[in-house]
Structure formats: C-alpha cells, structure tokens
C-alpha cells in the first residue's frame, strides 16, 4: 500500500472540530446542542456586502489578480488609514482567509525546522499551519492567573536559538481574549529588533475590544517596519466566515515579493467573495457599535454565570469573543465527549472545545475548555446552566 507522509500523520486534528461526530450523534438522538465550541458568530453579515453579490452581473467568473482586486486593496488601505494604521495598497495581498495569510507568512519567512515562538494557549490551527510548513512551534506559557498577559520577555529570550525566525501573537487573543497593551507590544518590538526576528501579529479580532480598551496594532510600532507582518480577515469583522477572504500586510518589500510568489502559485483569491468584502468596507459604524455592544453584553453574562459555578476559574476577556475556563474536572477531552455522548438536561447539551489542543506543551490545559460567546444571551445562560448540572453529574459518577 502507498504510504501517507509523516507530515500528514503529524497534522493535528482541530480541537474545535474533532468532536463534531459526537455532536452529530447527540443531534440524531434528538438532543439540542448549544455550540460553544466554535467561533461562528450568529451576527448578520452587513447588508451592503450581501447586496453587492446579489446584484452582480458577471458573464465569466474569471480569476482575479493574485494580490486581489486593486480596487479592493485601495479601499482597504483607505480603511486602515482611517483607523490609524499607515498601510498602503502595496503593503497588502488579499488571501483566502486569514488562514492562507498565515501560511504565506510562514512560507515566506521560515524554512523546514525553523522555530516560531508562540505564547500559549494559542489558536489551535497555528499548530496545523506550522506542521504544514515544516516549522517547529516553540511555546511560551501564559497563565490564567495573569489573565493570559504577555509572558515575561526573559521567558522568550530563553527560548531563542539560531533557528528562531519569528514570534507569532494573536491580538486580541483567541482563545484567551487577552488584549496586549501598548507597553507589551513595545517590549515585543524591542525583542524582535534585538534578535532580528519577524513579529507576526494575527489581528483578525481587532475591532472586538470592550471596556474602552484600545487595540494597539503591530503596524503602529515605529522602527519595526521590516519585522512586522499583520494577518487580517473579513471573517469575524463582518461575520463573513464563509467568504474566505483575508490579507497579509507588511511594509517589508522582500516579504511581500515572496508572499506574492505563493499567491501566484494558488492563482487568486475568490472573486465573488472579494466583491462582497470590498462592499463590506461601506458598512456603517452603527453596525459595529451594535455588534460590540452585543458581544460585551454576552461576555458579561457568560463570565458572571460561569463565576457562579463552584470550582470554575475564568479570565475576563478584554477582546475577541472567547474565554478559557478552568473546570473542576480532571480531563476536559473526556468531559466534552461525555457531554455529547452521554448527557442531556431535558434533551439539551453543550459542546465546548477542550483547551489542551490550544497548547503545544503536553499535559497543560487538561482541565480547561475554550468557550465562544457567539450565541445570544438566553442561550448562553441556558448553556452555563447545563454545564453546571453536567459537572455535578460527571463528578458524581
């Protein structure tokens, strides 16, 4: 029999999706499943975006430019400048989601066996992208006790070797909800300059900050223009996950020229979705004001409800729409599966993402889950009620 690659064998399963077969079993039994496991918002996509594709009159659905529509890149640059980010059209390549932008960033800056330092817990697919790129993830632990703040710079420095090429951060964080302060960003800037590293900042949740906190972008740090690479996406900003549009941004001309070769190899980003994404830039501010108010409300509800459960520890997220919760159980993987396979409260159960998959250090985060607050308030309240009962039943087994 022909053999599967080692790389293929090493590709990790997504902790967010691996329990899907069990949720399907629960649904077949007629149980309602509250999906707290996945960052699929229930927020409506802006009408301007949907109308743009409804009204489109295309005779030939052709390839676009490998860097994306020029009209879209121009408007995106204007959008960033309006938001205080000095990004020119030439600094942008449109990609098939932030996911492809991450692959281009790794492909353009790292060789096989090079190392990338990532504060953990981190977005689980960073493991997948790194494996696909042949890159080694070197985790630096951030803890629930500090709310997942940036680990001390000395912890990063201890891990830097001749193979280290980049530091990857997610800001605001998925799964932690942590928002790096300007001071933390400046510390990282100093570090990457000192060691000649790239600083890749995944900023796909940039708009989602609460309590008046302001997001400080990697593109705003003076003096690291050659080091900084920003990853962006329309998925969350406009609740357009299915569009599959994102971008890679950098002032470093060599990085962009290299990323462009990857972009050419895959020909172009999707045409219809670029039309929708370009139109989405016309979304009125009132849309974001409403969405942010809604998420803040959901966050406050979720955190308050979780804190009511004895033995649960949770860090208050400052941005994005996730939190990590420590539960009074021994193994979140087994618990999450049991919730779907063997438990229901009046025909309802919840699906959570076991957090161990968001760490690359083995044995860490075993009693933690990631919860996405992408459901409406009543559903969040009901979900936590189910979770509370379930923990009691599980521990009494």
Binding site for ligand PLP (CB under 6 A): 39, 97-99, 123, 170, 174, 202, 204, 233, 235, 241, 246
Q: Which of 281, 257, 222 is nearest to 52 (CA)?
A: 281
Which residue number, 123 or 210, has a Cβ lying nearer to ligand PLP? 123
* Alpha-carbon gap, residue 116 to 138, rounded angstroms: 6
Q: How wide is the angle at C-alpha 116 spanned by C-alphas 112 and 117, nearest 5°?
A: 160
Which residue number, 40 or 181, has a Cβ lying nearer to ligand PLP? 40
Instruction: Judge contact between 73 and 278, C-beta under 8 A.
Output: no
Which residue number, 259 or 391, has a Cβ lying nearer to ligand PLP? 259
Which residue number, 170 or 384, has a Cβ lying nearer to ligand PLP? 170
Name the residue whose CB lies closest to ligand PLP. 97
Which residue number, 98 or 319, has a Cβ lying nearer to ligand PLP? 98
Sign of CA dihedral 322, 326, 327, 333: positive
Give min distance, CB of 395 to ligand PLP, in A.
Answer: 31
Q: Mind giving me the DSSP string for 321-383?
A: TEEEEE-SSS-HHHHHHHHHHT--BTTEEEE-EEGGGG-SSTTSSTTEEEEE--S-HHHHHHH
Give min distance, CB of 126 to ligand PLP, in A.
Answer: 8
Give min distance, CB of 319 to ligand PLP, in A.
Answer: 11
Instruction: Tell whether omega for the bond before 9 is within 30 degrees of 0, i.e. cis.
Output: no
Give min distance, CB of 347 to ligand PLP, in A.
Answer: 29
Give min distance, CB of 111 to ligand PLP, in A.
Answer: 23
Which residue number, 97 or 357, has a Cβ lying nearer to ligand PLP? 97
* Alpha-carbon gap, residue 289 to 211, rounded angstroms: 13
Phi, psi (rounded to 5 degrees) for 176:
-90, -25
Give min distance, CB of 16 to ligand PLP, in A.
Answer: 8
């Amino acid at each position: 029999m022909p053999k599967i690659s080692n790389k293929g064998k090493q590709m990790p399963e997504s902790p967010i999706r691996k329990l899907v077969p069990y949720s399907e079993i629960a649904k077949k039994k007629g149980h309602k499943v509250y999906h707290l496991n996945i960052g699929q918002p229930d927020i409506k996509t802006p009408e301007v975006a949907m109308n743009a594709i409804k009204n489109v009159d295309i005779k030939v659905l052709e390839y676009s430019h490998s860097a994306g529509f020029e009209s879209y890149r121009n408007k995106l640059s204007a959008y960033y400048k309006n938001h205080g980010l000095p990004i020119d059209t030439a600094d942008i390549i449109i990609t098939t989601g932030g996911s492809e932008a991450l692959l281009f960033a790794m492909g353009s800056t790292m060789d096989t066996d090079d190392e990338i330092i990532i504060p953990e817990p981190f977005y689980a697919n960073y493991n997948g992208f790194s494996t696909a790129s042949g890159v080694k993830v070197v985790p630096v632990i951030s803890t629930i006790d500090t709310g997942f703040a940036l680990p001390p710079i000395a912890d990063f420095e201890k891990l830097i070797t001749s193979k280290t090429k980049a530091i990857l951060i997610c800001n605001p964080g998925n799964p932690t909800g942590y928002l790096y302060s300007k001071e933390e960003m400046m510390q990282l800037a100093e570090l990457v300059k000192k060691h000649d590293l790239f600083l890749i900042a995944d900023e796909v949740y940039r708009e989602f900050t609460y309590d008046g906190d302001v997001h400080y972008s990697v593109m705003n740090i003076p003096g690291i223009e050659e080091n900084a690479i920003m990853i962006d996406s329309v998925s969350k900003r406009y609740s357009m996950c299915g569009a599959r549009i994102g971008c890679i941004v950098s002032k470093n001309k060599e990085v962009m020229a290299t990323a462009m070769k990857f972009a050419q190899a895959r020909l172009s980003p999707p045409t219809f979705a670029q039309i929708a994404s370009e139109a989405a830039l016309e979304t009125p501010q009132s849309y974001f004001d409403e969405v942010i108010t809604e998420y803040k409300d959901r966050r406050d509800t979720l955190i308050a409800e979780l804190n009511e459960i004895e033995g649960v520890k949770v860090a208050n997220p400052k941005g994005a729409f996730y939190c990590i919760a420590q539960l009074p159980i021994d193994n979140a993987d087994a618990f999450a599966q049991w919730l779907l396979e063997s438990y229901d409260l009046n025909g309802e159960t919840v699906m959570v993402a076991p957090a161990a998959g968001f760490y690359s250090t083995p044995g860490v985060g075993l009693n933690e889950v990631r919860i996405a607050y992408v459901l409406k308030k009543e559903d969040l309240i009901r979900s936590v009620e189910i979770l509370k009962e379930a923990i009691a039943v599980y521990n009494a087994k």
